[in-house]
Amino acid sequence: MEIERKWMVNGWPEGLPLKEEFAMRQGYISVRPTVRIREEALTGGKTRCVLCFKSGGGLAREEIERDIDPELFNDLETKIIGRPLIPKLRRSYLLPDGAVLEVNHVDEGQPTEFWYAEVEYPTVEAARSWQPAAVGLADYLSDEVTDQPGQSMGAYWEQTRG
C-alpha cells in the first residue's frame, strides 16, 4: 500500500539535508490502471529498472513494483510505449520529524516543465494528521493536490505524450 500526499512546488527546498538524488526516465504502458516503467539512476550509485502497477489514485492506493532487467525495459520502451519517456530529477530530503520529502523536477527545459513534492506515510491517519508547518514547510508545501483529479504523472503522460 502506498500512502502519500502531493504538493505542487516551485524549485528545490532550502535548508534541508539532501538524502539522495536520482535521474529518472519513466513511461506508461497504461494509465487506467497505471502500468509504468521507470529507470532510476542514483547519483554516484547504481541504476535500476522498475515495472510498477498502481491502483486508483488519491491518498492511498495499492502499488506493486518489480525490478526488471535493462533489456526488458528497453523492449517495453521501444516496442510497446514507442514515445519519449518523461525525464525527472528527484531529490529526497530528510525532514526534522524523520519523514522524507521527495521533490521532483519534471521535463526540465520544456514548456511543460513543473515541480512537485511528495511525502509517504505509514498509515492513512499519519498522512491526514501530518502538517507541513510542523517541519517549517508551510509556505513551501502550500499547494496540496493529493485528491485533485488530473494531478498524477499518468495524467501528465496523457497530456504530453498520449
Q: What tens digit of pLDDT does each residue of 103-124 get?
A: 999 999 999 999 999 999 999 9
The answer to pTM > 0.85 is: yes
What is the distance between the alpha carbons of residues 65 and 58, in angstroms, rounded to a whole number?
A: 18
Look at the chain and count its residues. 162
Mean pLDDT of 89-97: 97
Q: What is the pLDDT of residues 23-39, one digit of tens each?
A: 999 999 999 999 999 99
Question: DSSP assignment, residue 81?
Answer: I
Q: How far apart, in whole angstroms, are the C-alpha atoms of residue 6 and residue 150? A: 12
